[in-house]
């Protein structure tokens, strides 16, 4: 146990060191005077999102744990297992992993059942398309039809909407979700590479302009420089442009520090796992919660 605590403390120290290097790197052409004029006070510009007394956008990053089940019964069993775990603030119901391919009405019913199991935690519903690292390919029209059914007849606190669907459909789904009091996590995933800094910033700002309540990007790093670039871009968006909470991460083992140090770069949520990972680089939820607490406590000192 002592060895584990030492390892977790060491991870936090590495996270803090990398983040300080990241935050210190000003964008090209910026003087200290320009930077101080552009950067608003931390958190004052972010519109926090409150769900079931969970405040997203302030304090330590909120921890999301996804389901990875292949059928509805197993998915509900996983949700029930996560329910009430104090380390987990958000449960992600991944409906693209369901290999029995239930119809849209059955999926909507599944979201209602999952929601009923989570009186204190937020439910995030996600269909991750094959194009963005998910388990099933789906056309834009079928994607929109499924989400319309979930919004109209299902139940969720948050809905993941991929930004690179057809723009008119993205705008429609955002509007429908908001009308139903469902917050939108707008997402972009790159499983091949980490985009340039300018592209990361552009995507996150575009998500905000499309009405997202949480701005999300996940990218695959090829080296530590990619991880630092993603974290630096996160800080730049947070400190200069963001009006909504951010959720950014570098995937794979190389990117694990980005999952730990979000509080210092402006990322308000992070993903962990219980059992099987749903994406490369996820770490055990209880271990992740320990590190988040260490960094949060140090950050308050």
Indicate the annotated binding residues for 3-dehydroquinate.
92-94, 128, 259, 278, 282
Residues annotated within the binding site are: 92-94, 128, 259, 278, 282
216 is catalytic: yes
The active-site residue out of 60, 62, 155, 216 is 216
Residue 122 near residue 91 (C-beta atoms within 8 A): yes
In angstroms, the CA 269 to CA 291 distance is 14
Which residue is associated with the tokens 């319309």?
148
The active-site residue out of 81, 178, 189, 222 is 189
Q: What is the DSSP string of 12-50?
A: HHHHHHHHHHHHH-PPTT--HHHHHHH-PPTTTT---EE
Q: What is the DSSP string of 91-121?
A: EEEEGGG-TT---HHHHHHHHHHHHHT-SSS
Element (H, E) at 124: strand 122-126
State the catalytic residues.
Answer: 189, 216
């Amino acid at each position: 146990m002592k060895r584990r605590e030492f390892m977790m403390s060491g991870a936090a120290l590495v996270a803090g060191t990398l983040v300080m290097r990241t935050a210190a790197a000003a964008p090209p052409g910026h003087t200290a005077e320009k930077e101080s004029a552009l950067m608003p006070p931390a958190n004052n510009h972010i519109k926090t999102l409150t769900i079931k007394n969970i405040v997203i956008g302030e304090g330590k990053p909120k921890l999301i744990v996804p389901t990875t089940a292949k059928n509805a019964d197993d998915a509900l069993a996983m949700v029930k297992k996560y329910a009430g775990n104090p380390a987990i603030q958000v449960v992600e119901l991944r409906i693209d992993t369901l290999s029995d391919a239930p119809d849209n009405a059955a999926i909507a019913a599944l979201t209602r059942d999952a929601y009923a199991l989570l009186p204190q935690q937020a439910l995030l519903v996600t269909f991750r398309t094959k194009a963005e690292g998910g388990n099933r390919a789906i056309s834009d029209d079928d994607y929109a039809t499924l989400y319309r059914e979930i919004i109209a007849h299902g139940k969720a606190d948050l809905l993941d909407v991929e930004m690179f669907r057809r723009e008119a459909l993205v705008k429609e789904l955002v509007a429908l979700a908001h009308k139903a009091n469902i917050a939108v996590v707008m997402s972009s995933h790159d499983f091949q590479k980490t985009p340039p800094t300018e592209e990361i910033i552009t995507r996150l700002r575009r998500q905000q302009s499309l009405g997202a309540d949480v701005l999300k990007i996940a990218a695959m790093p090829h080296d530590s420089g990619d991880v630092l670039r993603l974290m630096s871009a996160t800080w730049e968006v947070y400190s200069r442009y963001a009006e909504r909470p951010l959720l950014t991460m570098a995937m794979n083992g190389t990117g694990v520090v980005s999952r730990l140090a979000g509080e210092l770069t402006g990322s308000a949520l992070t993903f962990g796992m219980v059992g099987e990972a749903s994406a490369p680089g996820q770490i055990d939820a209880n271990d992740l919660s320990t590190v988040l607490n260490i960094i949060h406590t140090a950050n308050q000192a």
